[in-house]
């Protein structure tokens, strides 16, 4: 989270992908679980799109 925040602050486009099964990036950013529409599992295993 810290590295992504620093890079974004420097003006870089940044995508933070949480590969942790426990979802610690979401927890660290205070994202409510019910707002998470898809996980990295959905993208890698079920071949869903990353974007909307």
**Domain-located, residue 7:** no
pLDDT tens per residue across span 1-52:
999 999 999 999 999 888 887 888 888 889 898 888 888 888 889 988 877 6
**Domain-located, residue 32:** yes
**Domain-located, residue 9:** no
**Domain-located, residue 5:** no
* pTM of the full structure: 0.60
Q: What is the structure's pLDDT at 12?
A: 98
**Domain-located, residue 43:** yes
**Domain-located, residue 34:** yes
Contact between 28 and 5 (Cβ < 8 Å): no
**Domain-located, residue 40:** yes
**How many domains are there within the chain?**
1
Residue 49 belongs to what domain range?
A: 19-52
- Using alpha carbons, select from 15, 11, 21 the residue that is nearest to residue 1: 15
């Amino acid at each position: 989270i810290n590295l992504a925040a620093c890079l974004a602050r420097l003006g870089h486009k940044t995508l933070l992908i949480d590969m942790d099964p426990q979802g610690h990036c979401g927890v660290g950013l205070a994202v409510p679980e019910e707002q998470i529409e898809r996980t990295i599992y959905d993208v890698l295993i079920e071949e869903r799109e990353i974007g909307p």
